Amino acid sequence: RFQIQRGKTDPTSYKSLGDCFRTIFQREGLLGFYKGILPPVLAETPKRAVKFFTFEQYKKLLGYVSLPPGLAFAVAGLGSGLTEAVVVNPFEVVKVTLQSNQNAFTEQPSSFVQAQQIIKTGGLGFQGLNKGLTATLGRHGVFNMVYFGFYFNVKNVLPVNKDPNLEFLRKFGIGLVSGTIASIINIPFDVAKSRIQGPQPVPGEIKYRTCFKTMATVYKEEG
- Whole-angstrom distance, CA of residue 51 vs CA of residue 77: 8
By residue count, the chain amounts to 223
Of all residues in the chain, the percent with pLDDT exceeding 90 is 54
Q: What is the separation, in whole angstroms, between the first and last Cα of the chain?
A: 18
Helix, strand, coil percentages (3-state) for the chain, rounded to 5, are: 70, 0, 30
pLDDT of residue 105: 76
Whole-model pTM? 0.85
- For 50-83, the DSSP string reads HHHHHHHHHHHHHTTS---HHHHHHHHHHHHHHH
- Whole-angstrom distance, CA of residue 47 vs CA of residue 81: 10
Which 3 state secondary structure label does DSSP give 147? Answer: helix
At 7, is the pLDDT very low, low, confident or very high (cuts 50, 70, 90)? low
Stretch 74-103: mean pLDDT: 92
Tens of pLDDT along 163-211?
Answer: 989 999 999 999 999 999 999 999 999 999 999 999 888 888 889 989 9
**Res. 99: pLDDT tops 80:** yes
Compute, in degrees rounded to 10, the torsion defined by CA atoms 150, 136, 194, 110: -120
Stretch 100-123: mean pLDDT: 87
Q: Are 211 and 136 in contact (CB under 8 A)?
A: no
Using the Cα atoms of residue 69, residue 75, residue 76 and residue 77 in order, give the sign of their dihedral: positive
Other beta carbons within 10 angstroms of residue 46's beta carbon come to 13
pLDDT of residue 8: 65
Q: Which of 36 and 105 is assigned the larger pLDDT?
A: 36
pLDDT of residue 197: 94
Q: From the options 3.20.20.10, 3.30.70.20, 3.40.718.10, 1.50.40.10, give the CATH code of 35-222.
A: 1.50.40.10
Other beta carbons within 10 angstroms of residue 206's beta carbon come to 11
Q: Which of 134 and 20 is assigned the larger pLDDT?
A: 134
Stretch 35-52: mean pLDDT: 88
